[in-house]
Amino acid sequence: MGLVSGMAFLLKGGFMMWPLLGSGLVALTVIFERLYVFTKQYATPTTFTQTALGLVKEGKLSESKTFCQTCATPVSDTLLSGMAHLNSPLDVMALSMKNTAEGWVPLLEKRLELLDTIITAAPLMGLLGTITGMMSSFQVLSEKGVNEPNAITGGVSEALIATATGLVIALVCLVAYNYLSSRLKAMIYDMESAGSRLTECRLDLQ
């Protein structure tokens, strides 16, 4: 099925296909943008934390700060906030890292609520398309009886296409939302882990 014929088939689903396709486009945009954020823009290299903490253990604090500044990620920012208070009371250092990590959370979970909304809204829009399609079929049936079977089945087809499209969009968004949420939790854990390990380094140096 070509692109043109595929679009023609989808548009047979009635006027509700427009908001459904619009929500699908928004969802895909959010999914790819968040994937880039989690896997590229703010992803922490595998050995980054180990290298940064290794420099701290060796007493090379300035070198560790310089190293962290080369990688603008939530983990590096958390470590930098902790290093800035390495000689402060332990609770002050911990609070600084906690505030920094919490400051990253809204940025990391940005736009995920859109996917959550589309997961709920897409099936409902599909259901609305189903209702309008069935209403169209019953109207034809009441006006022309069973003499226009094609018109009747057209309304049923409209209902099924809208329903199927809404479910497909919701399923794709659900899978993507769960995956992105797991990546978000992993990044939060990485920040917490880096902060805890830096605290351990400080205690070892004392």
What pLDDT digit, counting tens, does each position of 6-34 carry? 555 556 667 788 899 999 999 999 999 99
- Cβ partners under 8 Å of residue 154, min gap 6: 12, 136, 137
If we measure between CA atoms, which residue out of 72, 24, 27, 22 comes closest to residue 180? 27
Query: Going along 8-95, which residue ranges are E strands?
Result: none
Please classify residue 76 by burial: count the beta carbons closer than 10 Å to its beta carbon, then call 0-12 exposed, 13-18 middle and 19+ buried.
Answer: buried
Query: Which residues span the domain enclosing 125?
Result: 3-205
pLDDT at 45 over 70: yes
**Euclidean distance between CA atoms 117 and 195, whole angstroms:** 33
- When pLDDT is cut at 50, 70 and 90, the band that residue 189 belongs to is very high
pLDDT of residue 187: 95
**Euclidean distance between CA atoms 46 and 5, whole angstroms:** 46
pTM score: 0.83
When divided into structural domains, the chain yields a total of 1
Q: Which two tokens stand for residue 178?
A: 């769960």
Average pLDDT, the chain: 85
CB 159 within 8 A of CB 42: no
- When pLDDT is cut at 50, 70 and 90, the band that residue 138 belongs to is low
pLDDT tens-digit map of 80-115: 999 999 888 999 999 999 999 999 999 999 999 999
Three-state DSSP class for residue 198: helix
